Structure 1
Amino acid sequence: MLIGEYSHNIDPKGRMIFPARLRDDLGVRFVVTKSLGDACLAAYSYEEWNLLAEKIKGLPMSKARPFQRILFAGAVECEPDKQGRILLPAALREYAGLEKDVVVVGASNHAEIWDKSRWDAECAKLDSDDIAGIMDELGF
């Protein structure tokens, strides 16, 4: 399970250190693509990526086609170098608004790469009443 929050920087060449704890769960190589519904990037292990692909294939073609285009067209295979860095192509950085300061978060079955200011804004949306309501729904 991918968990935790890690702050990193993107260098001028578009490289960033991907957190070691998340790399351990994602594997030696993993896929990074556009996130659906959020202005961030999503990183999937090949196992999770294949599960997602199969689920999308199971949708009616009229629904599957837009998801396939978004997810697969921009997807890149990442293999961290010896320093643990991955290269994020310019198109993906632009999609997620990534410039320098980023936050990488574990999100259960995948990791997300956020622009720090967008992540802070996303976190500010939830207040203690929202969290309490969700916890109540979950039976905690």
Structure 2
Amino acid sequence: MESLFVGQHEHSLDAKGRIVLPASFRSAFEPSGFLIKHSEGCLALMTPDRFGEIAGQMSERSQSGGPHGRAAKRSFGAGAARVLPDKQGRIAVPEELRRFAGLQRECVVIGAIDEVEIWDAGRWNEMNAQGESLLAAPESGTEAAERA
């Protein structure tokens, strides 16, 4: 894996809808990055290579998936945005994506191993509590469900 993203960083959206990328993440997005709507109500920031992998998978599915596959590919492309960090390491988050993720002023930028996620601080606290409980007691999560 080319880029590994780890850590949790609290940042605020500015009045123009920009957020600062943590310094440890910036080099992976120097040329550009791609913001997409994540299925869990946050935004995912991906390197061009990672975005290309997922876009390729979506394209393959659309060819064999009929109208549903093509609709998913369209929505994926329409809901994505190329972002270019400025000299201060800020990226502009388009208004549509801010609305999707419920981003207010206080946000949390996390490293999610192969991508960076941008969360509304309140949503992140809820999601993180759930994730931490699964780390503390993995048997109560998917492993137990798989055995049932």
TM-score by length of 2: 0.82
Distance 1:2 1:87 in 2: 20
Match of 1:114 in 2: 119
Describe the SS at the equivalent of 1:39. Answer: coil
Q: Where in structure 2 are there 5+ consecutive unaligned residues?
A: 144-148
2:95 counterpart of 1:93: no
Distance 1:46 1:55 in 2: 14
Q: Matches of 1:57 and 1:96 in 2, distance apart?
A: 25
Tell me what 1:9 maps to.
12
By how many angstroms is 1:116 displaced? 0.4
Q: How does 1:25-36 map to 2 (within 5 A)?
A: 25-35=28-38
In structure 1, the gaps of 5 or more residues are none
* Structure 2: distance between partners of 1:85 and 1:121: 26
Residue identity over aligned pairs, in percent, reads: 35
Indicate conservation of the 8 Å contact 1:17/1:84, yes or no: yes
64-73 vs 105-114, greater mean Cα deviation: 64-73
The structure 1 segments of at least 4 consecutive aligned residues displaced by more than 4 Å after TM superposition are none
> 1:56 aligns to what?
58
Distance in 1 of aligned mates of 2:131 and 2:50: 27
Point out the structure with max Rg over C-alpha. Answer: 2
1:63-119 Cα deviation digits (max 9, x unpaired): 422432332102111111111111111111000000100011111211110000000
Matched positions, count = 135
Aligned positions of 1:116-135 closer than 5 A:
116-128=121-133, 130-131=134-135, 132-133=137-138
